[in-house]
Amino acid sequence: MNENIQPNQQIFLKNASYYTPDGFKSGNILVENGKITEIYTEMPDLTGIDQPVLLYDVKDKKVLPGAIDTHVHVREPGWPEREDFFSGTAAALAGGITTICQMPNTQPTPHDLSSLAEMQQAAKPKLLCDMAVYAAAGYDNREQLAALAQEGICGFKTFLQFSNSNIKAPKYITVHNRQELEELLAASAKTGLRHFFHCEDYDLITRLEAAAHQCGAEGYAFHYQTRPDSTELKAVQQVLHAARKTGAKVGIAHVSTVAAAEAIRQAKANGLDVTCEVCFHHLFFDDSWLDRFGPWAKCNPPLRSTANVAGLWPYLSDGTVDYIGSDHAPHLTEAKEQGKEQIWLAPSGIAHIELLLPMLLNAVNEQKITLERMTELCCVNGYKQMGLYPQKGQIAIGADADFTIIDLTKEWQFSADKLQTKARQNAHLFDGLQLHGAVEATIVRGQLQYAAGRVDYQTVGYGQILNCHQKWE
């Protein structure tokens, strides 16, 4: 489908204030055939140019390298009714994101060459933005990792134990004990790719849940009370220990507690090759949201105490946290509603990719973080970690023309009804949030895919599956 869509042959971003690692600069950015080909200090004379030129005046806006969301659960193959690649990437674009990294807890999981190809085939005709893919890694498919590593995946993902009781645990994505973990990491170490982990100690959680049920515990607090901070810390320590033993490169997904962030800070200081992702809900929403909204605010790891929410911020600026993702995890409304009376019956996950950048821009306006550091965390470092830099993640001649154009002055109110995700019904908990700072437009390889509140659906199939970890010139 739509394989003929080519990026606009030529576009100019006029009057741009654009991000560079040395600070924001002013210029006029010329894009040809999807790449940045020139950056002019003065706008050149365009008379006599015969190619079509799209002139986009971005005066008073900021131009960032297109944002990457390192943690997205599109539900294909398996459950397209929850989110398919079309709706998922439309939502990404509306959130200012030009590349998503697709998580592998689908049905089937991409755990060998044929299941990986199945996911890629499902995605290809439907993508509106670009996509990198994590392969599933579990004890049972450890012998497939070498072959999978040749396929341009961004890395491996393992759930220390599958954490979501409402989705049946697929086989090839878990390890069940320390020994399995070490054997698996020994296999991924040989590939040189990074191995990412969902860190929660499921054994401990299961015991706490059983005890809570025995006491007749009810109420929405059940969810976070049975997943205390220690359940994350213990799992993180296990992964760090196994990484030290095997020499594997590891990444900790959605770190939600100060204790885990501190453990990672220390491990980095001691020379371990570990990266740290934080998902934005853990930076903004505390467990009182779970008390109020129950299943709609249920995710894993859970929303945490105010002390954790506030305590994670210093780790953004000291370099412990490498990048910020969303953990966009759509579910059917009927499934979520099952948890209204008994929270443990609801599946975990919040569908909020469209809120990631707006929340961070609002934080920039509140001076909780600088625009420069936010840009590194959302638009640069993820590409470095996924082996896509410098093709993506910079505004420089020769790079892909991916841009997130933002308006830091705009004030607006969030409304879930306007979302692109299929799971918009699940995002009503955020209705009424007053935000200062907005995504104005999203450009993927020179193609204006989102502007003035509209996604260009005509370009379905334009998004590419990215080949990560190539040897760049």
- Residues in contact with ligand DOR by CB under 6 A are 73, 105, 163-164, 198, 299-300, 329, 347-349
How far apart are CB 254 and ligand DOR at their closest, in Å? 7
**Spatial contact of 62 and 439, defined as CB atoms under 8 Å apart:** no
Residue list 353-392, contact with Zn ion (CB under 5 A): none
CB of 356 to ligand DOR, least distance (A): 15
Residue 120 binds: one of ligand DOR, Zn ion, none (C-beta under 5 to 8 A by kind):
none
Specify the residue, 73 or 265, whose C-beta has the smaller distance to ligand DOR: 73
C-alpha to C-alpha distances, 337 to 213, 280, 333, 347, nearest whole angstrom: 20, 24, 6, 9
* Residue 163 binds: one of Zn ion, ligand DOR, none (C-beta under 5 to 8 A by kind): ligand DOR
Choosing among Zn ion, ligand DOR, none, which partner's interface includes residue 325 (Cβ < 5 to 8 Å by kind)? Answer: none
User: Which CB, 33 or 206, lies closer to ligand DOR?
Assistant: 206
Residue 185 partner contact from Zn ion, ligand DOR, none using kind-dependent CB cut-offs of 5 to 8 Å: none
Contact region with Zn ion (CB under 5 A), list: 175-183, 186-194, 322-330, 399-407? 322-330
> Residues 6 or more apart from 248 whose CB is under 8 A from it?
185, 186, 188, 189, 195, 242
Q: What residues contact residue 11 under an 8 Å CB cut-off, 6+ apart?
A: 30, 31, 53, 54, 55, 56, 401, 443, 446, 448
Which residue in 327, 354, 376, 400 binds Zn ion (CB under 5 A)?
327
Mark the segment that binds Zn ion (CB under 5 A) among 35-43, 150-158, 324-332, 364-372.
324-332
How many residues bind Zn ion (CB under 5 A)? The answer is 1
Amino acid occupying residue 286: D
Q: Which is nearer to Zn ion, 112 or 327 (CB)?
A: 327
Look up residue 292 and give its two tokens.
């109020």
C-alpha separations of 167 from 126, 255, 348 in Å? 24, 22, 9
Neighbours of 78 (CB within 10 A): 17
Q: Is the peptide bond before 77 cis (omega within 30 degrees of 0)?
A: yes
Residue 349 beta carbon to ligand DOR: minimum distance, rounded to whole angstroms: 3
**Shorter beta-carbon distance to ligand DOR: residue 15 or 225:** 225
Q: What mask, x for binding Zn ion by CB under 5 A, covers residues 58 to 87?
A: ------------------------------
Residue (246 or 385) nearer to Zn ion, CB: 385
Pick from Zn ion, ligand DOR, none: which does 275 bind, CB < 5 to 8 A by kind? Answer: none
Place of tokens 């809570």: 212
The answer to whether the CB of 392 falls within 8 A of the CB of 68 is yes
277 contributes a contact to Zn ion by CB under 5 A: no
**CA gap 401, 235 in Å, rounded:** 39
Quote the CA–CA distance of 228 and 208 in Å, as a whole number.
9
**Dihedral in degrees, nearest 10, Cα atoms 238, 385, 272, 281:** -50
Partner that binds at residue 300, options ligand DOR, Zn ion, none, CB closer than 5 to 8 Å by kind: ligand DOR
> In 3D, which of 316, 310, 375 has the Cα closest to residue 96?
375
Pairing of strands 195-198, 62-65: unpaired
Q: Residue 71: which of 310, 281, 319 has the closest Cα?
A: 281
CB of 405 to Zn ion, least distance (A): 28
CB of 82 vs ligand DOR, minimal distance in Å: 9
Of residues 326 and 459, the one with the C-beta less far from ligand DOR: 326
Q: Could you say which of Zn ion, ligand DOR, none residue 133 binds, taking C-beta under 5 to 8 angstroms by partner kind?
A: none
CA angle centred on 224, ends 222 and 225, rounded to 5°:
60
CB of 136 to ligand DOR, least distance (A): 12
Q: What would the 3-class secondary structure string for 333-349 be?
A: HHHHHCCCCCHHHCCCC
Q: Which does 299 bind (CB under 5 to 8 A by kind): Zn ion, ligand DOR, none?
A: ligand DOR
Shortest approach of Zn ion to residue 200 CB, angstroms? 11
Q: Please classify residue 416 by burial: count the beta carbons closer than 10 Å to its beta carbon, then call 0-12 exposed, 13-18 middle and 19+ buried.
A: buried
Nearest approach in angstroms of CB 327 to Zn ion is 4
Q: How far is the CB of 162 from ligand DOR (least distance, A)?
A: 9
Which CB atom, from 62 or from 254, has the smaller least distance to ligand DOR? 254
| Contact range with Zn ion by CB under 5 A, out of 220-228, 321-329, 432-440, 453-461 | 321-329
Q: Which is nearer to Zn ion, 281 or 392 (CB)?
A: 281
Name the site residues for Zn ion (rule: CB under 5 A). 327
